[in-house]
A and B are shown apart, each in its own frame.
Chain A
């Protein structure tokens, strides 16, 4: 039975930090940064982390598909918010998947994304049901480091399994080589990197072609027949050097999104694969390779099924959802790279009772409300007694999911008094199509947007509060503008 990709999804945060602004701040110290000062990098909002981005990519991947069929959730990242609490489990909860599920995290390498996809494809041969794989990265970078300019935040997701695959796996191969081009030790936030020229000449150009050659040979596909070659490295000419060495045509080299996104760490080979699938035609042969203590190479052939895949935003859709951020100080603040006076209001203890959270996690993580079986009123949160004053029935509430429902703004404000890492804090009453409402935090309100009564909103899974004292974070859903007018329009 052939296995492959059943669906794909992507997610790129809407803020794009202009690299010229980073270079402007640091060129006095390192003039070499000017050479990287072109274009923009995707910048996660303060309430986004790898888990929330992975959730968004997974929602995109599952658009129009039945979630009940998902048999496993794999997540890959090197920037997991939790070291001991399964991150894939949080993703599964946010997606409101059943608990009869295999969940697993893949970590510790820039190859974790491609490796997890390879493992998912192998597991899918067992036929247990589709595996949802999602990968995201929010890489921490030191101020004035080249990585700060070349990195970006983002996520991709794939549903992997048997049956109506949109891209069948022709083969995969892994070369495992403990080539340490960079590393991040225990309790360390930032990478320590070795010289770029050595990495290219002794690492990339020697290790990656070996993996590619092996997969081509095993699958009987000629390098010249590759339609699209996805290779994620930001270093200029890397993909071209590899392609040249193995004989992949120059025209097949996929855009590594360095101009408009940046390299999204271990997720990036997968972000590129998701983007490649967006424009792919039946018969296309897509080769994706990665680099990190070796190399994974996976080869796919696109099938006719790709034409029947329900519409999705994809990487391109999210790239188009864009705000050009010129405020580098905001990036520094979001990443705690500058000691900020946050005010006494920021001191409020954000402790979460784990009992409280577990008891209420359907509400808080899956955004499940209630629908009264007696009068049909829907409400959030669910309660023992129906909110409809003309009903008031007890214990008639059935689960009703709000996460995927669109809403409209009923009332709102932009608050400069309450503490927010990104003031003003926007919030307001949103009213859902089909009923129900919530006084909700808003997120992703960019400075160029005009929020008004009636603005359409879409819920997004975000960090609600950071408990910096205990290094915990709690998640909840926030309303994000979904087609707000631009100021002055």
Chain B
């Protein structure tokens, strides 16, 4: 019986670039920005890094294929470098690679870096692209907002939520994230908004308006990991360790089998169950201190809080409106602004979430620092479409918790 990843690997250092419309920077500039911060934070030399993972999702818009762009940008000394892509879970996949490498004993110190340079398309939103030669023959002409928007129609129908209540709860989620983002100097969007502004914004994909959608950003984030023993030997105290790393991929059930009603994420439920077990968490609503979930769209966050078993099924609207997930609520969700406002450079996003947990647990989160000391932080990525996706979940926390 596998014992899981809990407390086997510690975060040695992390870095994150400013996210946003980095018109004058290449992917290389973003990678260096995140790396320099992470290396300084780790307090090691480059030569101590024994393996590295690069995450990018839409590489054709910037660095192209392979791990070579990372190896060249950081001038890594011909160590093993691997590029991973798994939709919006790419950053978490890079982290998983590095953490597993350390846990296996294959290397002592490993680096994970995610980067995405999206603002070279000439238009807003994610790049319009083909889906593969066979898929193009029959897949619907779906965008990301249009795919996730459908959660709202199925969720509302299932739980009997009227359109206005749904829209209002979704608006509350975005207002909260803008509030949080306004306190984050690295965030892409730092303006505060109100619910009326969200409700009256131009429609992107019914019922998602402009402010129900996250920013499309340039950015990079980086983690350096090692064993707790080595971290201590390097002088680190109060270690933040990895508690769980889970991934779940759709197998076609949602897309092709009528047992899924379209109102939730099958993969998130599977990954969450395994993650809590791996981390030894039995009452998530009482034990998890904070969340960074994949709020690509407001409705995704709403539905996800049920799939992570924090809000009871059908009860997320109430929890959201009660302020349960606000920065000063019972369990803050997206205290850094989330994808919505920190931004969503796809390959970097999973690592950016862990970065926030890492800062909060060390009391280094500045104006947005949570007063209650966080113990467990959970991050969640959802890549693809509600009917066909990958979900990654990472739990980090204080060593021994």
Chain A interface (Cβ within 8 Å of chain B)?
343-345, 347-350, 352-353, 356-357, 360, 363-364, 377, 379-381, 383, 387-389, 410-420, 424-425, 427-429, 431, 435-441, 452-454, 464-465, 474, 476
Pick the interface stretch among B30-38, B132-140, B225-233, B324-332: B132-140
Inside 8 A of B139's CB, which chain A residues have their CB? Answer: 439
Q: Do the beta carbons of B137 and A364 come within 8 Å of each other?
A: yes
Is the C-beta of B387 less than 8 angstroms from some C-beta in chain A? yes
How far does the Cβ of A478 sit from chain B's closest Cβ, in whole Å? Answer: 9
How far does the Cβ of B272 sit from chain A's closest Cβ, in whole Å? Answer: 19
Inside 8 A of A427's CB, which chain B residues have their CB? Answer: 140-142, 146
How far does the Cβ of B130 sit from chain A's closest Cβ, in whole Å? Answer: 7
A and B contact pairs by CB, cutoff 8 A, 10 listed: A344-B123, A349-B130, A387-B251, A387-B252, A414-B206, A415-B205, A417-B146, A418-B141, A419-B128, A435-B258
Q: Do the beta carbons of A476 and B253 come within 8 Å of each other?
A: no
**How far is it, in angstroms, between the C-alpha of A441 and the C-alpha of B139 when the chains are bound?**
8
Q: Do the beta carbons of A464 and B137 come within 8 Å of each other?
A: yes
Q: Do the beta carbons of B137 and A360 come within 8 Å of each other?
A: yes
Is the C-beta of B81 less than 8 angstroms from some C-beta in chain A? no
How far does the Cβ of A418 sit from chain B's closest Cβ, in whole Å? Answer: 4
* In the complex with contacts A348-B129, A379-B257, A380-B256, A440-B137 CB distance below 8 A: no
**How far is it, in angstroms, between the C-alpha of A343 and the C-alpha of B149 when the chains are bound?**
22
With both beta carbons as reference points, the residue of chain B lying nearest to A413 in the complex is identified as: B149
**How far is it, in angstroms, between the C-alpha of A228 and the C-alpha of B289 when the chains are bound?**
81
Q: Do the beta carbons of B146 and A411 come within 8 Å of each other?
A: no
How far does the Cβ of B141 sit from chain A's closest Cβ, in whole Å? Answer: 5
* In the complex with contacts A360-B134, A427-B142, A413-B258 CB distance below 8 A: no
Q: Do the beta carbons of B128 and A429 come within 8 Å of each other?
A: no
Inside 8 A of B140's CB, which chain A residues have their CB? Answer: 427-428, 439-441
With both beta carbons as reference points, the residue of chain A lying nearest to B155 in the complex is identified as: A411
**How far is it, in angstroms, between the C-alpha of A93 and the C-alpha of B112 when the chains are bound?**
51
Q: Do the beta carbons of A425 and B157 come within 8 Å of each other?
A: no
Q: Do the beta carbons of B255 and A416 come within 8 Å of each other?
A: no
**How far is it, in angstroms, between the C-alpha of A438 and the C-alpha of B253 when the chains are bound?**
11
Is the C-beta of B153 less than 8 angstroms from some C-beta in chain A? yes
Q: Do the beta carbons of A364 and B133 come within 8 Å of each other?
A: no
With both beta carbons as reference points, the residue of chain B lying nearest to A410 in the complex is identified as: B262
Partner among A344, A380, A415, A474 whose Cβ is within 8 Å of the Cβ of B149:
A415
Q: Do the beta carbons of B253 and A413 come within 8 Å of each other?
A: no
**How far is it, in angstroms, between the C-alpha of A453 and the C-alpha of B208 when the chains are bound?**
17
Q: Do the beta carbons of B153 and A453 come within 8 Å of each other?
A: yes
Inside 8 A of B387's CB, which chain A residues have their CB? Answer: 429, 439
Is the C-beta of B242 less than 8 angstroms from some C-beta in chain A? no
Residue of A350, A364, A417 with highest tally of chain B CB at under 10 A: A417
* In the complex with contacts A348-B128, A431-B258, A435-B258, A412-B123 CB distance below 8 A: no
Inside 8 A of A363's CB, which chain B residues have their CB? Answer: 137-138
Q: Do the beta carbons of B204 and A417 come within 8 Å of each other?
A: yes
Inside 8 A of B133's CB, which chain A residues have their CB? Answer: 352-353, 356
Partner among A352, A415, A437 whose Cβ is within 8 Å of the Cβ of B146:
A415
Residue of A412, A415, A441 with highest tally of chain B CB at under 10 A: A415
Q: Do the beta carbons of B258 and A453 come within 8 Å of each other?
A: no
Q: Given contacts A428-B153, A436-B256, could you give 14 more A-B pairs where the C-beta distance is less than 8 Å?
A: A344-B122, A350-B136, A357-B137, A387-B252, A389-B253, A411-B150, A413-B145, A416-B202, A416-B205, A417-B146, A418-B141, A418-B146, A439-B255, A464-B138
Inside 8 A of B202's CB, which chain A residues have their CB? Answer: 416
Is the C-beta of B151 less than 8 angstroms from some C-beta in chain A? yes
Q: Do the beta carbons of A413 and B205 come within 8 Å of each other?
A: yes
**How far is it, in angstroms, between the C-alpha of A1 and the C-alpha of B222 when the chains are bound?**
83
How far does the Cβ of B113 sit from chain A's closest Cβ, in whole Å? Answer: 29
**How far is it, in angstroms, between the C-alpha of A419 and the C-alpha of B261 when the chains are bound?**
27
**How far is it, in angstroms, between the C-alpha of A357 and the C-alpha of B208 when the chains are bound?**
35
**How far is it, in angstroms, between the C-alpha of A415 and the C-alpha of B253 when the chains are bound?**
24
Q: Do the beta carbons of A410 and B137 come within 8 Å of each other?
A: no
How far does the Cβ of A224 sit from chain B's closest Cβ, in whole Å? Answer: 56
**How far is it, in angstroms, between the C-alpha of A389 and the C-alpha of B262 when the chains are bound?**
17
Binary A-proximity of B237-267 (CB < 8 A = 1, otherwise 0): 0000000000000011101111001110000
Inside 8 A of A438's CB, which chain B residues have their CB? Answer: 138
Q: Do the beta carbons of A387 and B154 come within 8 Å of each other?
A: no
**How far is it, in angstroms, between the C-alpha of A437 and the C-alpha of B154 when the chains are bound?**
15
Partner among A377, A420, A424, A474 whose Cβ is within 8 Å of the Cβ of B137:
A474
Is the C-beta of B143 less than 8 angstroms from some C-beta in chain A? yes
How far does the Cβ of A376 sit from chain B's closest Cβ, in whole Å? Answer: 12
How far does the Cβ of B152 sit from chain A's closest Cβ, in whole Å? Answer: 8
Inside 8 A of A474's CB, which chain B residues have their CB? Answer: 137
Q: Do the beta carbons of B154 and A453 come within 8 Å of each other?
A: yes
**How far is it, in angstroms, between the C-alpha of A387 and the C-alpha of B134 when the chains are bound?**
18
Residue of B122, B123, B150, B156 with highest tally of chain A CB at under 10 A: B150
Q: Do the beta carbons of B137 and A417 come within 8 Å of each other?
A: no
Q: Do the beta carbons of B146 and A413 come within 8 Å of each other?
A: yes
Q: Do the beta carbons of A413 and B206 come within 8 Å of each other?
A: yes
How far does the Cβ of A384 sit from chain B's closest Cβ, in whole Å? Answer: 11
Q: Do the beta carbons of A417 and B125 come within 8 Å of each other?
A: yes
Partner among B128, B137, B151, B157 whose Cβ is within 8 Å of the Cβ of A418:
B128
**How far is it, in angstroms, between the C-alpha of A474 and the C-alpha of B133 when the chains are bound?**
12
Inside 8 A of A452's CB, which chain B residues have their CB? Answer: 153, 157
**How far is it, in angstroms, between the C-alpha of A245 and the C-alpha of B283 when the chains are bound?**
92
How far does the Cβ of B77 sit from chain A's closest Cβ, in whole Å? Answer: 40
Partner among A353, A389, A439, A465 whose Cβ is within 8 Å of the Cβ of B142:
A439
Partner among A360, A411, A420, A454 whose Cβ is within 8 Å of the Cβ of B151:
A411
**How far is it, in angstroms, between the C-alpha of A380 and the C-alpha of B388 when the chains are bound?**
14
Q: Do the beta carbons of A476 and B154 come within 8 Å of each other?
A: no
With both beta carbons as reference points, the residue of chain B lying nearest to A477 in the complex is identified as: B138
Is the C-beta of B359 less than 8 angstroms from some C-beta in chain A? no
Is the C-beta of B203 less than 8 angstroms from some C-beta in chain A? yes
**How far is it, in angstroms, between the C-alpha of A435 and the C-alpha of B133 when the chains are bound?**
26
Residue of A413, A435, A436, A440 with highest tally of chain B CB at under 10 A: A413
Is the C-beta of B104 less than 8 angstroms from some C-beta in chain A? no
Q: Do the beta carbons of B137 and A411 come within 8 Å of each other?
A: no
Q: Do the beta carbons of B137 and A356 come within 8 Å of each other?
A: yes
Residue of A350, A380, A414, A435 with highest tally of chain B CB at under 10 A: A414
* In the complex with contacts A344-B123, A387-B253, A412-B145 CB distance below 8 A: no
